Structures are given as structure tokens and as C-alpha cells.
Copies of this chain bind each other. A is one copy, B any other.
Amino acid sequence: MANYKHILIAVDFTPETMEITRRGRGLAQQNGAKVSLVHVVEMDVPAYPSDLPLPGELDFSKRLIEHAEVSLKELAITHGLRDAKRYVDSGSAKSMIVKLAEDIEADLIVLGSHGRHGLQLLLGDTANGVLHRAPCDVLAVRIGARTA
């Protein structure tokens, strides 16, 4: 019985990323679903008395994205997900993940429940708004749970 056709795994390269990816891959195998991987670069820019870009901000953001692209590729290879499409962007993780899920017609988002890009972000202060916008199911993986 196939429940899902396209699983979007959202990772943030915290230590739980390996387990989240493994869980998402397992569900994809069970369902014969394709996998996409996403990482959103979030920059905590301190208060700045101007609308001008911070000195070096754009370069720094670009380097973070480039670094994330390499890390995401390594993650995909490690987990046997060479065929997975990989997406790296910058902005608000919750917004970008939801928007990407819409764009690629994912029917399941897999993410960590405790990570920076986990449910606190996806559902935190704007729970109702995001849930009503999310186009699909959301699996929050609990790291350290008893399932092996």
C-alpha cells in the first residue's frame, strides 16, 4: 500500500540530521516514493540601524549556501540518495520548506522535532498559519526515540 509518492526531507545539519534522513529514506523505500532534500540557510542578522546590507553580508550568505550545497550532497551520497533532488535556499525555514513542498508537490515533509528547522520553527509561533498553508502531511522525527 503506497501512502506517499514524494517525500521532502528537511535537514539542518545538526546531529539529528542523520537519523531524520534515515527515517525519511526508510519511508520512501516502503512507499516507492522519490525523495527531495532541503536545507534553508537562516542568518541571524543583528539589529542594524539601516536598511543597507551589512558589510560582507551577501558574500557570507553566499558562502553559507555553497557550504550547505556541499554538505547536502555528501548527506545524499552517505544515505544512498544520489537520485534525490537537492534544494538549498536562504530565508525563513518554515516559509521556504512549506513553499518548496508546494512547488515540488511533496506529500510528506520529514523533519526533526527538536532541530533548528524542526517543529518549533515550522509550527512555533505561527502554528495555525503554517498548518493551514502546509500542503501535506508532516512527520516530526523524535531523536532518541526508542525506534531503532
Residues of A within 8 A of B (CB): 1, 3-5, 23, 26-27, 29-31, 105, 107-108, 113-114, 118-120, 123-124, 127-128, 131-132, 134-142, 145-147
What chain B residues lie within 8 Å of A105 (beta carbons)? 146
Q: How many copies does the complex hold?
A: 2
Most chain B beta carbons < 10 A, residue from A107, A113, A128:
A113
Known: A5-B147, A26-B3, A147-B3. A138 touches B120 (CB 8 A): no
Smallest CB separation, A96 vs chain B (Å)? 18
- Asked if B131 and A120 sit within 8 Å, CB to CB, the answer is yes
B141 touches A145 (CB 8 A): no
Q: Which of B31, B108, B138 contacts A113 (CB 8 A)?
A: B138
